[in-house]
Amino acid sequence: MGKRIFLFLLTNLAVMFVLSIVLSLLGVGSYVGSDGQLQLGALMVFCLVWGMGGAFISLQMSRWLAKRAMGVQLLDGRSGNEALDWLHTTISQQAQQANLPVPEIGVYESDEVNAFATGPSKKRSLVAVSTGLLRSMERREVAAVTGHEVGHIANGDMVTMTLIQGVINAFVMFFARIIAFVVSSFVHEKVSWLVSFVVRIILEILLGILGSLVTAWFSRKREFRADAAGASLAGRENMVAALRRLAANAERIDTSHAALATMKISGKKGWMQAFSTHPPIEERIAALQTAQLV
């Protein structure tokens, strides 16, 4: 846990450092003019750089960060461990079937039943599987799960999610600052900066929550497409069997860390479903059983 927190803080410091340099080069030091008026052009650049830039820098670092945060051990298919070499061969073959470069392939020590794909592009991607998943599933089910993750790479889901998150970040920052500026103009100038700061923080939290509904909705949609890819690569019945196995092992999926939610293969239940990055497994199975697979 301590390692993950440290890497999270390190990543955010790196993002802040790089974006501060970019804004300096663009000559955007402030979006409030010398006359005390809001400069919308400068504000738009400021928000786009921080919103989109932060999302894309995080994407570029995603593979490196995931390997270190999760303790992923990369495989080369020549370990001498029959199960791990089989895993490497299976994912390599699925990538070739999907007309993709073979991604980095890894395994990480964890009792949770999970697998994930990440990386900034189809050429620089990673598929990692937990030891808990390897111990809990039959090989045909493991192959379906890895096919699902290869499907994420083939569909370009990581880049698309980054674009959506970046746009939402920029809009949240833009509107929060405009509203905060307007509100602060109605109070005494001695406290206007404090009012502006408090209102901006509150609005960024509230608008960010609303924005997360959009990203979660899109993430759920991409899971159905990835399930279809897994069914195409490993067989519909194997994908359904894998999802049923996940449902039976739902308590062994750690969903407590929101920042890692998209790296999990199951989501929340009840009213929290609106914020879940993954649909209920029952819906995923029903979609597969009625889908026309190519």
Contact 83, 179 (CB under 8 A): no
Q: Which of 278, 288, 282 is nearest to 235 (CA)?
A: 288
Among candidate residues 112, 149, 204, 223, the one labeled active-site is 149
Which distant-in-sequence residues (6+ apart) come within 8 Å of 181 by Cβ?
A: 32, 38, 196
* Catalytic (active site) residue 149: yes
The residues annotated with a catalytic role in the active site are: 149
